[in-house]
Amino acid sequence: MTEPAEIFSSVEARTVYHKWEVKYEIKSPDCYKKLVITINGRSPGPTIFAQQGDTVFVELKNSLWTENVAVHWHGIRQLGTPWSDGAEGVTQCPILPGETFIYRFVVDRAGTYLYHGHYGMQRAAGLYGSIIVSLPEGVPEPFSYDYDQNIILNDWYHASTNEQAAGLSAIPFVFVGEPQSLLINGRGKYNCSLSTASGSAAGVCNTTNPECSPYSLTVVPGKTYRLRIGSLTSLSALAFEIEGHDMTVVEADGNYVEPFAIRNLYIYSGETYSVLVKADQDSSRNYWATINVVARNPATPTGLAIFNYNPNHPQKQPPTAPATGPLWNDTASRLAQSLAFRARQGFINKPPVTADRVIVLLNTQNKIDGHFKWSLNNLSLILPQTPYLVALKENLTGAFAQDPPPDGYDVANYDIHSLAENVNATSSNRIYRLRFNSTVDVILQNANSMTVKNSETHPWHLHGHDFWVHGNTAPLHPYGWTALRFRADNPGVWAFHCHVESHFYMGMGVVFEEGIEKVGELPSSIRGCGES
């Protein structure tokens, strides 16, 4: 069931209007009761449905009472509205408890997108949802299907995000650990016997709670379905599959790709895909749809949903055991999927032939005054109290350090496969200032963490832009590298960071500025903190 939205039409375009209240409620998405951040009582929040060219207008009231909030519109480029990107500390001051804030932006391109909290670690507390942008009426897709369905994936922790953040900032360091459950469209199932064994109060976990019954996707035999699959996990890379069914990938992050068939869809936090699935199996039974953790040694049970063939009962369990997924450490198959992506013929936007600037970023785990951090070129990002967008537009030079961060590191003398001799790094709020309309190459190099023979997977997300992948792959695999090229043609200030929630919280990100002089007058609503 979708959240009602008001739509106001005109000859030129439409405005899609949502009114949201963000607050904590007690929910049981995996049968275990805990405080969850909801939008209008729901987590995941309402799906935003719009058409290419529409203006989306979200009036958001923060009813958390003791916490600030900000919401990022993931994949929306915010052309002409950088102040609506929703990145606290970068493009706006946070929305204070009791305040109402208006996000207004144009969805300039059809595709599958996401939204989520971008203050602290609130995405992991349930503040997330989907954005579906359709083509203008009469414009066909380059592939055919009968029905369109949306699936959003997440991992789920029982500890609050405040507890997790406290552990990440503590000495000794306390990592968030592996999630307790995996959710498909906000539903999972925790083993309540584990809850009893750990001393939780009676009634905290209840497997008969209808809130945690498996999500069921009902299909008509013989029909083809476009499944729009997005992941907003806090930590986990996932493998998604539908028992007995092939999938054909046709869209990635809002871009059409050359179709290719898969059984397992590897999906990393912040990514979206469209796959085509035909309901062509034995219709007398239902099938499992599953998600399993990859890229980390899993300690989390398989996430389950039901691929329900009509007229079987939606909750009728399949007669087979759920798939346990591919080997978690099979990096080769994950890399092979990454390398299979090609822009679809007829929809190719060719990259510039050469770059004007090359920035090489070494991705390392470090310590600062005894605290565990993640760094790039030995700098761990801390966001200033005054948002960069405001500080730059109003020339508040004291709001953050003005000297630029380094464009590279000592490649010849750094061994990415070994523990660093010196793990100390520096906190920094310095930013990269890019010449407007220039072409920029960013080369990300992964390295050993502070654990022997360990290098983690990092899914990288660039606000305000698409990018071309020129080497390796967009998810940064263990000890791997990737080369990204983008054009700095969107006036504003944009975060570029690892989409693992704890990694960004611990400093794994940088900020780019481009064309700040071309940004229009800033709305007063984004001010009110720091020097603004």
Tens-digit pLDDT profile for residues 43-82? 999 999 999 999 999 999 999 999 999 999 999 999 999 9
Q: CB of 218 within 8 A of CB of 314? A: yes
Strand order in the sheet with 215-219: 215-219, 303-309, 287-294, 237-242, 265-267
- Residue 203 pLDDT class (50, 70, 90 cuts): confident
Distance CA 109, CA 130 (A): 15
Q: Which residue has the tokens 């929630």?
A: 501
- Count of beta carbons in the 10 Å neighbourhood of residue 348: 12
Strand pairing report for 55-62 and 14-27: parallel
Q: 340 by DSSP, 3-state: which?
A: helix
- For position 13, what pLDDT does the model report? 77
What amino acid is encoded at 317 in this protein?
Q
Distance CA 45, CA 29 (A): 13
pLDDT tens digits for range 438-454:
999 999 999 999 999 99
Q: Say how many CA atoms lie within 13 Å of 325 toward its Cβ.
A: 29
- For position 474, what pLDDT does the model report? 73
- Residue 10 pLDDT class (50, 70, 90 cuts): very low
Which residues, listed in sequence order, are joined to residue 117 by a DSSP beta bridge?
71
What the block records as the tokens of 164 is 């997790």
Distance CA 253, CA 144 (A): 19
Q: Which residue has the tokens 């953790």?
A: 293
Structure letter (DSSP) for residue 85: S
pLDDT tens digits for range 238-280:
999 999 999 999 999 999 999 999 999 999 999 999 999 999 9
Query: What's the predicted TM-score (pTM) here?
Result: 0.95
Q: CB of 340 within 8 A of CB of 396? A: no
Q: 84 by DSSP, 3-state: which?
A: helix
Q: Which residues contact 84 (CB under 8 A, 6 or more apart)?
A: 73, 78, 91, 103, 104, 105
Strand pairing report for 100-106 and 55-62: antiparallel
pLDDT tens digits for range 450-476:
999 999 999 999 999 999 997 575 788
Q: Which of 393, 354, 383 is nearest to 519 (CA)?
A: 393
Structural domains of the chain ordered from first start: 1-139 (2.60.40.420), 141-349 (2.60.40.420), 357-526 (2.60.40.420)
Q: Which of 57, 61, 148 is nearest to 97 (CA)?
A: 61
Distances (CA, A) of 531 to 85, 390, 431, 484, 492: 20, 9, 18, 34, 19
Q: Which residues contact 493 (CB under 8 A, 6 or more apart)?
A: 82, 90, 91, 387, 388, 389, 392, 431, 511, 512, 513, 516
Which residues, listed in sequence order, are joined to residue 219 by a DSSP beta bridge?
309
| One-character DSSP codes across 488-511 | --S-EEEEEEE-SHHHHHTT-EEE
Distance CA 183, CA 422 (A): 39
What the block records as the tokens of 436 is 């407007």
Distance CA 68, CA 54 (A): 28
Statement: residue 350 has pLDDT above 70: yes
Residue 378, phi-psi category: left (phi > 0), alpha (psi -120 to 50), beta (remainder): left
CA-based Rg of the chain, rounded to a whole angstrom? 22
